[in-house]
Chains A and B, each alone.
Chain A
Amino acid sequence: MKVIIDDKEFEAEYGEYILDVARRNGIHIPTLCHSDAVPGQGSCRLCIVEVYERGKNKVVVSCLYPITGEIKVYTNSEKIHRMRRNIIRLLAARAPGSEYIKKLKEEYGIPEETRFKVDEKEKCVLCGLCVKACEKLGSMAISTVNRGATKKVAPPFEEPPVDCIGCTSCAHVCPTGAIEVREYEGKRVIWNRTFELLKCTSCGRYFITREQYEYMKNRHGIDMKELLCDRCRQKSTAEKLVSLYKKLLVKKTLFQCYRLQKD
């Protein structure tokens, strides 16, 4: 089906989200809480767009608005720009410590906050992506705690989380860099818990916590004779392919020789 975004026509599938269609066609819509790996958050409201559908006009979040009929979309109309500025201003008041938010603030020319009391160090916008990621991976070590003005993301009792395996998925999915990970001398520290790191059996680089290793072994029954980091695993797969290819080549050549002989 057809959809018009910023006065240009594009193809979309029934039910596809506006954001996905826009991205596929190189139209930039700013987002914060959207992650392809953990979709459906819809909490930051940064990705709002204006939609004209059946003679009516409304503002929707593009990351969660499915296209089900003929619509016209404006990703940066005057109204959207104004509303987005307000959203960024509030996000900046909430998480002034985040580099990403600072950049947005600059891009949208938002003045320094004078009206709200802010915590300069705060980086978290409470989008909930980290909690979702942790849940999806099965550890469920962190959650949102409290509510209202004191809501935050934390492990139970705000102690080093017992269920955490130190995989750092939460830190990776976080759009504002709010979750700190430190690595030194074969150790990794996240959520105030210190993990021992294991080395890649091929290149010797520390890359995985013991808990992650146990988890993969139990959950996915991964063969653990060799413990390869991503880089080495890619290399080893590539090498295996090459040797397989070579073997095939040899077979083919042999076969051709055999045919020649026969002829």
Chain B
Amino acid sequence: MHEKPGEGILKVKSILEKYPKERRYLLAILQDIQKTYNYLPREALNEVRDYLGIPLSSLYSMATFYKALSLKPKGRYVIKVCDGTACHIRGSLDIVEEIKKQLSISPGEVTKDGKFSLETVNCLGSCALAPVMVINDKYYGNLKPAMVKDILESTGD
């Protein structure tokens, strides 16, 4: 289960303590924070800035560069629909459309109950199974729009 924001500058401190005060650990620290909170809370970024002594602009630059990091809370289940070349050609956008219809969210958004968030990614390295999507760590290949509803329903807490 993910930490709620606010519940925890303490958590950030214990993450930071694991790392020497060197800039090269920045990405690893941000990944840890992302894992703990499911996003990068602003207070946490301020803590990192103070700990490593690097400007907020560098943190923000990195936080917006990597898809694995996000500034908004993600859902408990992150749906990644591949929109790489192979998946695109085999209809990944129809899959996205179907998910949009089922959950009423667009890529980059989270459902109201915080359960799902949706994003598109570039090639998951499983082109033979195109079109592909991953929900947390589970892969679904050879997708058809008609399969989406069942998959979402069977995904539970």
Contact = CB atoms under 8 A, between A and B. Distances in A.
Category for how many chain B residues contact A: 10 to 19
B65 A141 contact: no
A248 interface: no
A140 B57 CA distance: 7
A144 B61 contact: yes
Nearest to A139: B55
Contacts of A141: 55, 57
Contact of A145 (B42, B55, B60): B60
Interface string A156-177: 1100011100000000000000
B64 interface: yes
Interface string B42-64: 10000000000001111111001
Contact of A155 (B42, B57, B65, B71): B57
A131 to B, nearest CB: 8
Contact of B55 (A146, A157, A163): A163
B58 A140 contact: yes
A32 interface: no
A132 to B, nearest CB: 12
Contacts of B64: 145-147
Contacts of A145: 60-61, 64
A155 B42 CA distance: 14
Nearest to B122: A148
Contact of B56 (A144, A146, A156): A156
B67 to A, nearest CB: 9
Nearest to B67: A147
Interface residues of A, number: 14
Contacts of B60: 143, 145, 155-157
A156 to B, nearest CB: 4
Contacts, number: 33
Nearest to B55: A140
Interface in B55-89: 55-61, 64-65, 71
A18 B108 CA distance: 46
Nearest to B65: A147
A171 B55 CA distance: 20
Contacts of B56: 156, 162-163
A143 B61 CA distance: 6
Nearest to A140: B55
A138 to B, nearest CB: 10
Contacts of A147: 64-65
B58 to A, nearest CB: 6
Interface string B24-58: 00000000000000000010000000000001111
Contact of A146 (B42, B58, B59, B65): B65
A104 B78 CA distance: 46
Nearest to A152: B64
Contacts of A162: 56
Nearest to A150: B64
B59 A156 contact: yes
Nearest to B71: A157
Contacts of A157: 42, 60, 71
A173 B61 CA distance: 21
8 contacts: A143-B57, A143-B58, A145-B60, A145-B61, A146-B64, A147-B64, A147-B65, A162-B56
Going nearest first, the 8 A-B pairs with the smallest beta carbon separation are A140-B55, A143-B61, A156-B60, A143-B57, A156-B56, A145-B64, A146-B64, A147-B65
Given A143-B61, A161-B57, 17 more contacts: A140-B55, A141-B55, A143-B58, A143-B60, A144-B61, A145-B64, A146-B64, A146-B65, A147-B64, A147-B65, A155-B57, A156-B56, A156-B57, A156-B59, A157-B60, A162-B56, A163-B57
